[in-house]
Structures are given as C-alpha cells and as structure tokens.
Structure 1
Amino acid sequence: MELRHIRYFLAVAREGNFTRAAARIGIGQPPLSQQIRDLETEIGTALFHRVPHGAELTEAGAAFHDVVAQFPDLAERAIRAARRAGRGETGTIRVGFTASAAFSPSVPGVFRDFRRAFPAVEMTLEESNSAQLVTRLKEEQLDAVFLRQDAIADDGIRLHVISSGPMVVVLPAGHPAAKHDKVSLSQLRDDALILTPRDVGPTHYDKVVSACRNAGFEPQMGQIAPQLGSVINFVAAELGFSLVPKPMTQLQANGVVYREIDGEVPIAELSLAYRSNDISIALRNFVSRTLAAHRSFSEPDED
C-alpha cells in the first residue's frame, strides 16, 4: 500500500464517483478503478459498493476511511518537518560562554540574531570557566563555546578567533596609580596580583603573568578568585590589582577603577570553539552566522 492509494481512495470517497474523482486528481478513470481494485485486493475486502451513478463506501470502507483520512495531511506535515530539519530550522543547540565573553557586545548580539533567524531551534546557554567549557564540549554536553582560549591542544576541536582587543588594569579606587589615565605595570610590582586559578583559565592567567614579566618584574600572587567577576570584587576590597579584558569595564563596582596600560599591552582574544566532527545543521548555521557577524562587526579597542 502506498500513499497514492490512500489519496485515490479518499478522492473517490469524497466525490462518490470514479469519473469525478479521476478528473480531480488528474488521471484516467480506468487506471483509478484499477488502483482501487488493487487496494481492495491488498486489504482483502471491498471498500466501495459500485452503484449506477457512482460509488458508496461499504462498512469496511467507512472504517478504513476513519483511520486514513488524516494520512495525506500527516505526510505533508512530515515532509515539511523533514525539510525544516534539513535546513537547520529545528532542533537544539547548547552554547557555553565565559563570564568575560558575556561582556563582549557582539556575543549577546549573536544569540539574539540566531534566535530571531531560527525561532524553532531550542537554544540553551551555559556560563562557566574555560576549562569546564572545553571539557563539556569534548564530552558532547555542549555544541559550541565562546571562550578566551587561543590554543586548545585537541585535533577534534575547531577554533576560530573572532575578536581581539587590549586588556586593562583594574585597581582599587584609592590606589596612587589610579590618578593617572594610563598605568605602567611596573608601578604595580609591589602590589598583589589577583587572578583566577590557572587550571580554570590558562590562557588568561599566562597572558597576565607574562605581561608582568615583560614589564620587568615577577608578580606577587595574591588572592585566588574563582571567576573574573570575583576578581573585580577582590580588587574593590583592596586585596590587589589585576588585568582583565576591556569589556569587563562594563562591570561597574564601587571601589574600583579601570585604566589603560602604558607600555606593551597584552591582547585578549575571544574564540568560538566546536567539535570538528559535529555534523549538526543547527550548529553549522550558528557557526556561519557567528563568523559572518564578527566579520562585519567592528569592535574598536575591544577584546
């Protein structure tokens, strides 16, 4: 039994006449009659009474009609659903991001643009640190992640650096160096450096420590902060200073100031990472729209 048999049966049932049904569906009356006979043979019982002026459903035909009446509509719905899925217009995508990535003005814009373009795709968002994001990506618990990790030692992960920009110094508001528009890192050699643990954000940690060494001193490691937001709070408590990506200046906290770096400025990069073997069309759409947005999006002095 094929879907066309159902369509032919429903046409005859609706018209009550083989000739009119044949004209409606665009085939000859003899071939239509043969198709109905083939269907009746397969089912094993008559579906129509042939009467002088047309055809009437038998009891078996009426029972069959009750079940198959929705088949053509269901088939059309199934075709539309398959086509939408094939274009990546349905499905799910799980995206992770670091706290600092959330402050990059383009990242929320990417989420907003994708939701508008693909409203039927269920997108879930998760904030975490770089190390956890990479782990969850490798374990297929996330599909794509935004993170400040410019080197991931895994051939199975594809990485695109989508923006870059300077880091800035964050100081207690009462620090003597806060009086200047720009601060040389060498001025802070006697202050404690507040960072997140290296194992949760190795790229950021290494760049900040290297910046201090390039400025001529070995940093005095101070309080360890669980995340970059906590770094700002610890600086506000006058526990030391730190370097953060410039978008973090949007996080305004009492007792801190942000200053540009006088001298060699470390660069923070924001990357999009995803598994290279992931064939999800929804993911492909997300990646292509993200990369296109960042090619056209200018972030002056942005990270």
Structure 2
Amino acid sequence: MNPARMELRHLRYFLAVAEEMNFGRAAERLGIAQPGLSQQVKALEEIIGTALLDRTRRSVRLTLAGELLARDARDILARSEAALLSASKAGRGEVGRLAIGYVASAAYTGLLTSILGSFRHTCPEVDLAITEMPMQQQLEAIAADRLDICFIRPPVSLPMGITSFAVLQEPVALALPASHPMAQRDVVPLDTLSAETFITPHHAPNVSFHHHTIIACRAAGFSPRLGPQGRDFMTIASMAAVGLGVALVPQSVACIQLPGVAYRPLAGTGITAELAIAHRRNEVLAAARRFIRHARGFRLR
C-alpha cells in the first residue's frame, strides 16, 4: 500500500459507489463518465492492495475491506470539509478573537452597541473581548498588541503604525449646575461664560475635550480658566452638578441624568466631537480587518 498516492477524490468516488451500489448511478451523481469512475475505484484498490468491491455478482457489493473503508471515508471526508470550511472562515475573518477597547462616552452615543451588535450578528463565531478604559491606556495597549480595536475621542497623537477613522460627529454641548442662571436658557452663548471655571478630562491641552474646550473658548473671545479634571464624563458631570464648574461635553453625554446637572446646546461654536476607531495600519488579523470594513459601513451616520 502507498497512502501517499491516495487523494480525497479517490475516497469521494469510492463512497459514491458504496452508497449507490451502482456504478452508473454513482457516475451520474458525481457528474463524471462511468468508465472513468471505474478506473478511479480500481486505482484506489491498487493503492490499498485489496479489493473493495465484489464484482462477481450482478449487483455491486462491498467486501469487508470496502465496508470498513466506507465507514472511515465518511468521517475523513466530513473532517476534511470541516477543516476547509474553518480555514475559509478564518481567511474571511469570520472566526477568531478580537480585543476591543472603548472610552466610556462611546457607549452613550449608541453607535458602539450598534457596531458591535451588528458585527456579532454577521460574525457570531468571532469572540469579542470588550473593555472600557481611558483613551491613553487604549493606545498604549494597541501599540503593545494587547488590543486590536480602540474607540477613541480625537484629537490625540497616535502611536507609530496606528491609524484611525471617524465613525461619528456630534455637537458639543454644555454641562453646568442646574442652579446656574444659564441653565434656564434654551441655548447658551459661550462668551457669556468667560468668568466660569471649566472642568476638563485628564488629558494634555492638545487632546480630546481639553483641546475642544480651549479652542472653543478662544473662538468665543476669551481664554478659559481651567479648573478640576475628571477621569471620564460621568465624573465631569458629577463635578458640574456640585458646582465645581462648567464643562464642554459631547451632546450624547446628556443621557447621564444626574441630580443637579443640566445640559444645554451652545450657540454658534461650530465645534463637533468626533468618535473614531483606531487600528493597526497594516493589520494582519483577518477578524480585525473584517471588523474595520464592517465599522466603516457606519462611518459618519
């Protein structure tokens, strides 16, 4: 016997004959000529070194060797097809694991759950490990290959090899104490707040809402007096509620209904808050590439 000469097609042809018990029907099922099928089965018998079919009767019957091979052939072919399917799914990014980080405010927009939920529906065999963490920690983690995808709030300096694209632009709003006189206004002009203390996130001046606060106030004709900083917008809203200052926040943060805080639109700032997805520029993980393509379908909706 020389197993190296045997191919899966030999097993497939032989199994068709074993199941049909007729060369003509088996050939028709396989879409090949009957003489060719007979030759392939004969070649398999020569490879194995024993008869698989009893051809001495009018009807085709399996020998004991043929019965044993037919049983094993079904399993071999099923496993080979499963292996090919798994490899194909992996190549299309339909299986695997993705580590995804997000800033807390991404959840307030509804877009995070929309993207993740629809991707989960499309690729249910991709395991999603989702973790809320500060933006800078996300970027450090993706640079160290501990994360594959990051939901962030630009502007921010990205590590080498990391790029990003926007998935949402939303208006910037004002969070202020509910007792503040401006909380009674439908729309608040930013230049009326020049004497206020502004609460910002724990970021450098050129990053995210620290940057937005400085730029918006300067455009309104004053430099903001910067006060306490908060880890996230929940903390910032709480600080505003207790009277520590006012804050510029994404409009979606208004879903945080805390006692003592009010949210109001700003008049004419023209500044929008961006939610973006950061990923490796030359991504090799098929599941991550699949997620990136999927997320781009939600871009700027």
What range is the shorter-chain TM-score in? 0.7 to 0.9
Per-residue CA distance 1:143-200 (angstroms, 9 max, x = gap): 2222111343445122212332332221111123323334344544554432221169
Q: Which amino acid aligns with 1:118?
A: C
| Range with bigger deviation, 42-51 or 230-239 | 42-51
TM normalised by structure 1 equals: 0.82
In the alignment, structure 1 residue 259 sits paired with structure 2 residue 264: yes
Correspondence for 1:43 among 44, 48, 57? 48
Quote the Cα distance in structure 1 between the aligned partners of 2:265 and 2:39: 85
1:261 deviation in Å?
3.0
Quick one: distance in 1 between partners of 2:217 and 2:152?
23
- Write the mapping of 1:138-177 to structure 2, written as runs, cut at 5 A: 138-177=143-182
State the partner residue of 1:216: 222
The corresponding residue for 1:300 is: none
Closer, same or farther in 2 for the Cα pair 1:210/1:61, shift >3 Å? same
Name which of 216, 238, 243 aligns with 2:248. Answer: 243
Distance of aligned partners of 1:105 and 1:200 in 2 relative to their CA distance in 1, 3 Å threshold: farther
Long gaps (5+) in structure 2: 1-5
Give, in whole Å, the separation in 2 of the partners of 1:176 and 1:27.
86
Counterpart pick for 2:235 among 220, 230, 234: 230
Q: Is the 8 A contact 1:185 1:261 kept in 2?
A: yes
Q: CA deviation at 1:14?
A: 2.6
116 and 134 in structure 1: CA distance in 2 versus 1, 3 angstrom threshold: same
Looking at structure 1, the residues matched to 248 and 179 of structure 2 have their Cα atoms a distance apart, in angstroms, of: 17
Show the counterpart of 1:11: 16
Q: Distance in 2 between matches of 1:183 and 1:274?
A: 37
Q: What is the rounded CA distance, in whole Å, between the counterparts of 1:132 and 1:199 in structure 2?
A: 14
CA distance in 2, matches of 1:75, 1:143: 31
Structure-2 residue corresponding to 1:59: 64
Which deviates more from structure 2 when the two are superposed, residues 107-116 or residues 268-277?
A: 107-116
After TM superposition, give the deviation of residue 115 of structure 1 in Å: 3.0
In the aligned structure 1, how far is the partner of 2:26 from the partner of 2:110?
A: 61
Aligned position for 2:3? none
Q: What secondary structure does 1:283 align onto?
A: helix
How far apart in 2 are the matches of 1:201 and 1:253?
29
Residue in 2 aligned with 1:32? 37
Q: Give the TM-score normalised by the residue count of structure 2.
A: 0.82
- C-alpha distance in 2 between matches for 1:284 and 1:119: 16
**1:211-235, CA deviations, whole angstroms, 9 ceiling, x for partnerless residues?**
345542351422x322111111122
CA shift, 1:79, in A, is 4.0
- Alpha-carbon distance in structure 2 between the residues aligned to 1:110 and 1:25: 44
Identity fraction in percent: 34
Moved over 6 A (4+): none
Q: Give the direction of change, closer, same or farther, for the CA distance of 1:52–1:130 in structure 2 (3 Å limit).
A: same
| Structure 1 pair 200–98 and aligned structure 2 pair: CA distance change class (3 A) | farther
Deviations 1:61-114 (A, max 9, x none): 332222212333334444444444444444443332211222224343323333
Distance 1:17-1:258 versus aligned 2 partners, 3 A rule: closer
Of stretches 198-207 and 135-144 in structure 1, the one that deviates more from structure 2 is 198-207
Bigger mean CA offset, 233-242 vs 207-216:
207-216
Could you report, residue by residue, the CA deviation over 1:234-278 in whole angstroms, capped at 9, with x for unpaired residues?
222222222111111121111011123346454322222211111
CA RMSD of superposed structures (Å): 3.0
C-alpha separation between the residues in 1 aligned to 2:29 and 2:188? 83
Q: 1:134 is matched with which residue: 128, 139, 155?
A: 139
Between the two proteins, the alignment pairs up a number of residues equal to 295
Structure 1 position 46, deviation (Å):
3.1
Indicate how the Cα distance of structure 1 residues 26 and 192 shifts in structure 2: closer, same or farther if over 3 A, else same: closer
Describe the SS at the equivalent of 2:203: coil
